[in-house]
Structure 1
């Protein structure tokens, strides 16, 4: 009888503690740019199933550093959101923190170095994958200026040109939009802001591209 009472007490205590924890379920699971791959998605996609592989340190040193600093950045590639920015993206996101969306836990995404790049033309299609199908009020799409060197420079607002602002998108898991970056060649950073439709939630990502 005593053991049964003790077990019931433990179960009750567990239920109370769980009830006090913040909810981080599907409401926090959204998405990212999967083509060209955002930094966190590229690291997860390439190394998620072999994140303990020592070869990552030499083959993909930027992802290796990110996994060493905080593996959750990659495991939760779909959840790099900020609430309540009210459209004040530039005022509330300092230079050098754009790729992490101003989130300190994802700070390694801001690091300068040899991130893996996707080859694109001066006109290409970007694709968002949104697990929760929340749709978009709009996307703001930026590309770094010609002459910017992503191997030695961190991304700041002054390094970017706004190349597109889209309209609304209905809820869907896959959303695509066109990007045109004339006058550019070589390594660049694609920077995308997604304003989700269901509430004031904002995502920002960096995708490393090579314009060919």
Structure 2
């Protein structure tokens, strides 16, 4: 999914997604609704509603969902769909990891527009870790999605030693083949029932998975 916002291009990053770009034409879903930010990067910034800080999509701020776009909206509004649970500068690859149950990640590209949130002439590259306000929560254990694989998640094999996450209840496009039952710092610490090792990252980078 892609969007052009006043602060830059935003897209959802899945586990294998590596880039994003602004939507053609620089448009958004709609402009002018209370609690929303306009999307025209080159136009002067309108008066900012109360509650918005110096950072676009800061922690505890909310976004809407659209068919092709996301916009920051008031968390008390009817269009609020997901909340920021963590916000970092830089890239996902080089920055801190999102919380374990993050549902999706929004990537914010670096921009130097004529006007920006804090008036310093720059909007730094960063990313927002998002959690849906209502179910489903693909980032939950067994949910079949989210940017991280965690204990309780299920995967299926892609060949060549690669795996992909899928819902443990069988409701995804592919049936689960293995479930991650434990996270350890070394393969030798996995239980005897382990049939597959899954790369998790972090301080316990090895996932011990058993057949389901």
Q: TM-score over 0.5 for the alignment?
A: no
Normalising by the smaller structure, the TM-score range is under 0.3
Q: TM-score, normalised by structure 1?
A: 0.24
Q: TM-score, normalised by structure 2?
A: 0.24
Is the helix fraction higher in 1 or 2? 1
